[in-house]
A and B are shown apart, each in its own frame.
Chain A
Amino acid sequence: MKLNYRIVIFALAIIFGISFSVPSLLQTEQGKKITLGLDLQGGLHMLLGVKTEEATKSRIKSIAASVKHYAERKDVLIDHLVFDDSSVSFEVLDSDDLPKLKEYLAEIEGSDIVNIGELITLSLTPEEIIKTEKEAISQAIETIRNRLDQFGLAEPVVARQGEEKILVQLAGIKTQEEEQRARELISRAAKLELMAVDEDRAARVYAMSDTDAAEYGDVILEDAKNPAIKYLVREIPILDGGMLTDASMGFDQNNRPLINFKLNAEGAEIFGDFTGRSVGKRLAVVLDGKVYSAPNINERIGGGSGQISGSYTVMEAKDLAIALRSGSLLAPIYLMEKRSVGPSLGADSIKASLIALIGGFVLVIIFMIVYYRAAGVIANIALIANLFIILAVMSLFGATLTLPGMAGIVLTVGMAVDANVIISERIRELIYEGKSMHKAIEDGYSNAMRAILDANITTLIASVVLYAYGTGAIKGFAITMSIGILASMITAILGTHGIYQMLESKISKSKNNQFWFGIKG
């Protein structure tokens, strides 16, 4: 028995395989481990779309709000301030104000300003619309990520997929309620608006239709608790959640949960100005289009903080505060694809695929020993080493093991012995031809090599394509297959060759081909 470079590499590969697969196999505290796919550990996978056209609409709306605020501050008299999906227009009463107003409007990025007489129409340029839509997607990703980071699940995945889809993956969701909560948190617009109640017409709200209200520049909003209660508020908000710096859960004097929020300096100023002007009127706190409260303004409110009260549970208040803190979604999101697997189904899948893996593995091992005897044992050593290397490589890269991935490992077991079958058949052939043991082994390997390489490379081509075009769990299949094939090059070809070279003198001396290769002669 003598050492050769092949056996050294093989031994190193085995040591690598065992040491790096230990953390995954024994679930140790430290070390890199394989992550189980959502289909095996249970979890929620969603592909979300963004209604980007809504982002443009809300951009227009906020431009309208800032024009209004500017006019009020600078005592510029404007009238007929209206907006639709793509433009804002208003009339300037005193044409002397035109230059400074235009100067102000010119600072609004990406806007096209058309001025005919006293009428000014402001619309967004096509580039600005595209930019706004793109920003809406990035902002949605950022916002959802922020929210989920505070939700308390380990390693939520929020990523862009393609140009305009958002991939959300949440592992380790245990109950239906938890999933529901997560989905509510993700999709909540969390759009906070402080709006002025139109006190001049408020009494007539129940007799008005939406179009009637629109004529006055108002909207009718429902109460959050009781949809029968309606409020007539000015359509253009005083300010919106974009000026929010913080939100947290608190309690009112009756120990009911509520949300405290703080505004930034600009917001505080606008808020202060408005409340100072509107003493005796009501201020509606509107969240996602519903009025949460509409307290009377008793005095100017400085400092820029406020409260949203409502009848929610502690959990709801907490989630709402997270949503407000992480910012509102510029545009609503919708569901394009959802895959949710309960933890019990995941556990069942693990059990079933493990049984298949072990069952198939044992069958192959027995078969190889019966058919090839010692050569079969050598092939089996390579096969076991192969399994460890697959696990080790996957652990190192933190790869995800999915149910199809398990199938990939099962299949690799069947195909990895192929190389050894080819080699053993070649060696048997050469022994029959009466070649010396040394020649039979060396030529057996070199004859088999071309075929094995070509076969493996073509399978790799198929796997790579599958990885590139597959999604989710299917990618897992391509990963385990590819690693398995590459690992088999080291174990089944190099490794077994090394073992034969080490044992060569023994095999030559024994002349027992029945024992070594399972053939007579």
Chain B
Amino acid sequence: MEFFKYTRTFNFMGKSKVAMLLSTVLVLASYALLVTKGLNYGVDFAGGTVVQVKYDSAAPIDAMREKLKSNTLFNGATISEFGASDEVVIKMKSTTSNVTVDIGDVTRETLNGTGSYEIRRVDIVGPTVGAELKEKGVMALLLAMLGILVYVAFRFEWRFAVASIVALIHDISLALGAITLVGLDVNLDVLAALLTILGYSLNDTIIVFDRIREGVTKSRNSELSEIINDSITRTLARTTLTSLTTFFVVFTLFMFGGEIIHAFAFTLLVGIIVGTYSSIFVASPILLWFGFDVKNYHVKLASKAKREAEKQRMRDQYESGVM
């Protein structure tokens, strides 16, 4: 079976202006959402408490609310269904620092009389820990990008590195926008998903860039846009296929992985779609616009090859004892 039989080159770069416009609009929309609606930080980063309660039958949310009103500790607590009608999570801003009796225990006591229930999960994240996790999370994202930037600059050329980072920022921005749009709680797992998107999207970009590098080195054609079109077309089957297989598994994770993994899977789903798109329509055009000069690169390669040859010659001479 074949999705794309390589017969002719698609003119991707011809569509790049439209794509860039679309990307710009989407990125701006994401930022607008981030500013107006704001990210919904979960307990991991904002600090607070989450208590997951499972009832024998449908959870009596109204009765629970009534009970929670009795204690100011629960001020501003929200109760929402978690995957099924018999399971709910109570989220609140307050935390307690007593080890023996914590806010989870208080919740269990308070809910007494609302039916037969079991406390299945208690997450308490104190404010200092939350702030620390947030700081670490941002550091992780920045460091990962920096590491990637250095590696790609080393393996390819600085313009490739910058282009791939722009594509990554594009992907992360859109993913954050989508998260904000559906109002997902941003916890550690979402951060992990964002970092995975980083790795995944870069994978895609590098496969295309590798072809471009190969095209630039091998072909006599010095028109970069044609080389890019050719490279994207030749990798299109792979891009589609890998995206599809990854999409399959993440989709099953999203559907059947359970409520706890939901936010993680959702973020990844968005990331896979956006990442695939960006490696074709964001990273490559940027390379073009940065004025990557094929002729210049050829000259550089030639002089590099010359230097290598010179070195080799010296080495041979040295080994045969001429010097």
Contacts from A to B (Cβ < 8 Å): 39, 46-49, 176, 180, 183-184, 186-188, 333-342, 344-345, 348-349, 352-353, 355-356, 359-361, 363-364, 367-368, 370-372, 403-404, 407, 410-411, 413-415, 417-418, 421-422, 425, 428-429, 432, 447, 450-451, 454-455, 457-459, 461-466, 468-474, 477-478, 481, 518-519
| Best-buried of A333, A370, A477 by chain B (most CB within 10 Å) | A477
Which residues of B22-73 are within 8 A (CB) of A?
A: 52, 54
Please name all residues of chain A whose beta carbon is closer than 8 Å to the beta carbon of B261 when the two chains form the complex. 349, 352-353, 356, 403-404, 407
A186, closest chain B residue (CB): B99
A454 in contact with B155 (CB, 8 Å) = yes
CA distance A414 to B54 in the complex (A): 33
B124 located at the interface, meaning its Cβ lies under 8 Å from any Cβ of chain A in the complex: yes
- For this complex, 29 residue pairs linking A to B, each with C-beta atoms less than 8 Å apart, are A176-B108, A180-B105, A183-B99, A187-B99, A335-B96, A341-B120, A341-B121, A344-B54, A352-B257, A353-B258, A353-B261, A355-B252, A355-B257, A363-B249, A364-B245, A368-B245, A407-B265, A421-B245, A425-B241, A454-B152, A455-B202, A458-B203, A462-B147, A462-B198, A463-B199, A465-B143, A471-B136, A471-B188, A477-B192
Please indicate the chain A residues that have their CB under 8 angstroms from the CB of B97 in the complex: 49, 334-336
- B249 lies within 8 A of A455 (CB): no
| Neighbour of B253 across the interface among A345, A356, A464, CB < 8 A | A356
Chain B's closest residue to A517 (CB) is B2
| A interface, over-half SS | helix
Interface size of B by CB at 8 A reads: 78
Shortest CB–CB separation between residue B170 and chain A, in angstroms? 16
The CA-CA distance from A353 to B191 in the complex, in Å, is 19
For A337, the chain B residues whose CB sits under 8 A away are 124-126, 129
The verdict on B166 contacting chain A, using a C-beta distance below 8 Å, is: no
Q: Mark B1-24, 1 if CB is under 8 A from A, else 0.
A: 110001000000000000000000
Once the chains bind, are B192 and A414 in contact (CB under 8 Å)?
no
With A352-B256, A418-B242 as given contacts, are A469 and B137 in contact (CB-CB < 8 Å)? yes
Interface centre among A339, A372, A429, A473 (most CB of B within 10 A): A339
Residue of A nearest to B97 (CB): A334
The answer to whether A466 touches B268 (Cβ under 8 A) is: no
| Inter-chain contact B203/A418, CB cutoff 8 Å | yes
Cross-chain contact A451 with B151 (CB below 8 angstroms):
no
Instruction: Please report the C-alpha to C-alpha distance between residue A340 and residue B126 in the assembled complex, in whole angstroms.
Output: 14
| Shortest Cβ distance from residue B192 to the other chain A in the assembled complex, whole angstroms | 5
B100 touches A466 (CB 8 A): no
Q: How far is the CA of A3 from the CA of B293 in the complex (A)?
A: 47
Do A469 and B210 touch (CB < 8 A)?
no
A492 to B241, CA, bound (A): 16
Minimum C-beta distance from A430 to chain B (A): 12
Q: Are B139 and A469 in contact (CB under 8 A)?
A: yes
B307 → A minimal CB distance (Å): 21
CB closest residue in chain B, given A365: B245
Those of B66-99 within 8 Å (CB) of chain A: 96-99
